[in-house]
């Protein structure tokens, strides 16, 4: 196995300079295929409030409302309801090879063509991530660093799942899956290796910062703690100086406030996806100050509200309080105009589960929920990509449904057609 890996690595070294050269060279004259032009007729297109008749063309995979001179194919959408393809703002289902292949199929089938993977080091996905971002596959934005304490989440989960699989993995080995940092000196030492990954996005993890000293004294919390909150701001300062966006995993309302104070660009969870042992729903109620700060700075909050269903089934006595707290926090964030991005944090599920769960909380009209799940989430998570909207020059990626999602939202589970960059992928 080792020698095979070495051979593959050596081959990669031999091949890479050639491939880089080929990419840099201009294509030979006349080699470029003409951009395919497809007409899409008979559809009802989502305009942010409802579904309206329109006609769009896809030329070279981009939308235009102007009829091109030549049309290569015409697709009759037969009165179907069309949404821009969906975006998963928070998941971990494409961070390793086994899950990557499975999750690509799962997401593509639901018309989820873009996904943000929140905790991944480039070396862990090197073997397969090159297959992504191609026709028929999901385009992924990885949070290229995942910073937590050396005794922090996700260490506990990594050790527990290794034990479950009957493997003996030391804490030291398990720490290779993320970026453990405990002090400012360590941050200084590790920072160049993080920069070398050329990240667009990095994440750090705060967990129950308000009771940190008690947790440090309690061996039961080993592996489930977070980063020393004093490191939040130094990380954000370094990242922003390098043009890197920062997302914070916040568990409690206190974590949310620390993340905001540190100046993060995004918060990865709406606090209250669980009620931790020894805490109550009130520990997850966001402060007015933090909400106002998020609104002022345009800090994006990723919902991950459906993640609470795991805690609700484990601790049903908390379910009602948890749900009420989610409704209260979301209602206040929405009223303050804080940007919300829709993501599930569910490796077995998807952002479709999140959309349906949020609909069940009834905190906003359905059309607004669909607009937030498409245009708003696209803008928040993939600001450089022209996706999530029907507009001139936007990527011609969309999903067709047989019934009006505003009438029956669970039709999101059964797309009739999926179109990726102008190519029809079928149901």
- Binding positions for Zn ion, 384-413, rule CB under 5 A: none
Give the nearer residue to Zn ion in terms of CB position, either 86 or 118: 118
Least distance in angstroms from the C-beta of 226 to Zn ion: 13
326-355: which residues touch Zn ion (CB under 5 A)?
Answer: 345
Range in contact with Zn ion (rule: CB under 5 A) among 64-72, 114-122, 323-331, 412-420: 114-122
Residue nearest to Zn ion (CB): 345
Cα 117 from Cα 114, distance rounded (Å)? 10
Helices (H) and strands (E) in the chain, counts: 15, 18
| Contact (Cβ atoms closer than 8 angstroms) between residue 244 and residue 202 | yes
- Contact mark string toward Zn ion, 59..98, x via CB under 5 A: ----------------------------------------
**With respect to Zn ion, which residue has the nearer C-beta, 249 or 389?**
249
The answer to whether 403 touches 113, Cβ cutoff 8 Å, is no
Residue number with CB closer to Zn ion (118 or 201): 118
Stretch that binds Zn ion, among 94-102, 112-120, 184-192, 210-218 (CB under 5 A): 112-120
Nearest distance from residue 347's CB to Zn ion, in Å? 9
| Stretch near Zn ion under the rule CB under 5 A, chosen from 116-124, 151-159, 163-171, 238-246 | 116-124
CB-wise, 118 or 399, nearer to Zn ion? 118
Element holding 39 (H helix, E strand): strand 37-46
Binding mask 290-329 for Zn ion (x = CB under 5 A): ----------------------------------------
Cα dihedral 227→230→271→158 (10° resolution): 0
- Choice between 118 and 322, CB closer to Zn ion: 118
Quick check: 419 binds Zn ion (CB under 5 A)? Answer: no
Q: How far is the CB of 237 from Zn ion (least distance, A)?
A: 24
Restricting to residues 124-183, name those near Zn ion by CB under 5 A: none
As a whole number of angstroms, the distance between CA 294 and CA 300 comes to: 7
Using an 8 Å Cβ cutoff, are 200 and 245 in contact?
Answer: yes
Helices 319-336 and 351-361: angle between axes, nearest 10 degrees? 90
Residue found under tokens 């981009």: 62
**In the complex, least distance from residue 118 CB atom to Zn ion, rounded to whole angstroms:** 5
Q: Are 77 and 43 in contact (CB under 8 A)?
A: yes
CB 253 within 8 A of CB 283: yes
Structure tokens at 417: 């057609």
Q: Which is nearer to Zn ion, 358 or 394 (CB)?
A: 358
333 contacts 340 by C-beta, under 8 angstroms? yes
- CB of 107: closest distance to Zn ion in angstroms? 16
Residue closer to Zn ion by CB (options 120, 329) is 120
Minimum CB–partner distance for residue 62 and Zn ion (Å): 32
Contact of 202 with 143, CB cutoff 8 Å: yes
DSSP 351-405: HHHHHHHHHHHT-S-HHHHHHIIIIIHHHHH-TTS--SS-STTSB--EEEESS-T
| Least separation in angstroms between CB 95 and Zn ion | 10
**Per-residue tokens: 403:** 């019934």
Which window, 106-114, 115-123, 212-220, 275-283, contacts Zn ion (CB under 5 A)?
115-123
Considering the complex, state which of residue 341 and residue 400 has its C-beta at the smaller distance from Zn ion. 341
Distance CA 332, CA 107 (A): 31
**Closest approach of Zn ion to the CB of residue 274, in Å:** 12
Token pair recorded at residue 320: 């009602």
Binding residues with Zn ion: total (CB under 5 A): 2
Return the ∠ at Cα 352 (arms to 401 and 137), rounded to 5°.
80
Residue with smaller CB distance to Zn ion, 154 or 180: 154
Which of the stretches 16-24, 35-43, 111-119, 126-134 binds Zn ion when contact is defined by CB under 5 A?
111-119
CB of residue 302 to Zn ion, shortest distance in Å: 9
Residues 83, 94, 118, 301: which binds Zn ion (CB under 5 A)? 118
Q: How far apart are CA 149 and CA 225, in angstroms?
A: 7
**Cross-strand pairs, 300:** 266
User: Taking a C-beta distance cutoff of 8 angstroms, is the pair 37, 26 a contact?
Assistant: no
Q: How far apart are CA 383 and CA 21, in angstroms?
A: 29
Shortest separation between residue 293's beta carbon and Zn ion, angstroms: 23
Pick 118 or 202: Cβ nearer Zn ion: 118
Choose between 179 and 345: whose C-beta lies nearer to Zn ion: 345
Q: Shortest approach of Zn ion to residue 87 CB, angstroms?
A: 16
Q: Which residues bind Zn ion (CB under 5 A)?
A: 118, 345
């Amino acid at each position: 196995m080792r020698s095979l890996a070495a051979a593959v690595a050596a081959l990669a070294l031999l091949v890479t300079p050639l491939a880089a050269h080929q990419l840099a060279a201009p294509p030979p004259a006349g080699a470029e295929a003409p951009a395919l032009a497809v007409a899409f007729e008979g559809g009802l297109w989502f305009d942010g409030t409802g579904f309206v008749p329109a006609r769009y063309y896809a030329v070279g995979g981009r939308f235009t409302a102007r009829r091109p001179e030549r049309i290569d194919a015409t697709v009759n959408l037969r009165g179907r309801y069309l949404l821009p393809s969906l975006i998963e703002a928070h998941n971990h289902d494409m961070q390793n090879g086994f899950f990557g292949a499975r999750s690509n199929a799962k997401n593509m089938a639901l018309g989820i063509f873009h996904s943000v993977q929140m905790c991944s080091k480039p070396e862990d996905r090197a073997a397969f991530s090159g297959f992504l971002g191609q026709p028929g596959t999901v385009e992924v934005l990885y949070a290229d660093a995942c910073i937590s304490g050396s005794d922090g989440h996700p260490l506990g989960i990594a050790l527990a799942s290794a034990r479950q699989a009957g493997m003996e993995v030391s804490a030291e080995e398990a720490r290779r899956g993320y970026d453990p940092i405990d002090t400012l000196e360590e941050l200084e030492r590790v920072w160049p290796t993080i920069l070398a990954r050329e990240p667009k996005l990095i994440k750090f993890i705060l967990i129950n910062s308000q009771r940190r000293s008690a947790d440090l004294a309690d061996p039961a919390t080993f592996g489930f703690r977070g980063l020393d909150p004093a490191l939040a701001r130094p990380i954000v300062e370094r990242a922003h100086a390098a043009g890197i966006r920062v997302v914070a995993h916040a568990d409690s309302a206190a974590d949310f406030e620390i993340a905001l104070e540190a100046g993060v660009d995004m918060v990865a969870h709406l606090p209250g996806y669980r009620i931790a042992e020894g805490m109550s729903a009130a520990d997850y109620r966001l402060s007015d100050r933090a909400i106002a700060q998020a609104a002022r700075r345009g800090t994006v909050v990723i919902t991950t509200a459906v993640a609470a269903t795991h805690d609700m089934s484990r601790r049903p006595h908390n379910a009602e309080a948890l749900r009420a707290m989610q409704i209260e926090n979301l209602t206040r964030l929405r009223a303050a105009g804080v940007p919300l991005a829709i993501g599930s944090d569910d490796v077995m599920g998807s952002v479709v589960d999140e959309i349906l769960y949020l609909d069940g909380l009834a905190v906003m009209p359905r059309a607004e929920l669909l607009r937030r799940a498409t245009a708003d989430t696209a803008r928040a998570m993939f600001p450089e990509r022209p996706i999530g909207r029907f507009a001139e020059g936007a990527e011609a990626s969309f999903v067709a449904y047989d019934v009006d999602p505003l009438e029956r939202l669970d039709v999101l589970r059964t797309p009739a057609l999926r179109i990726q960059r102008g190519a029809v992928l079928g149901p």
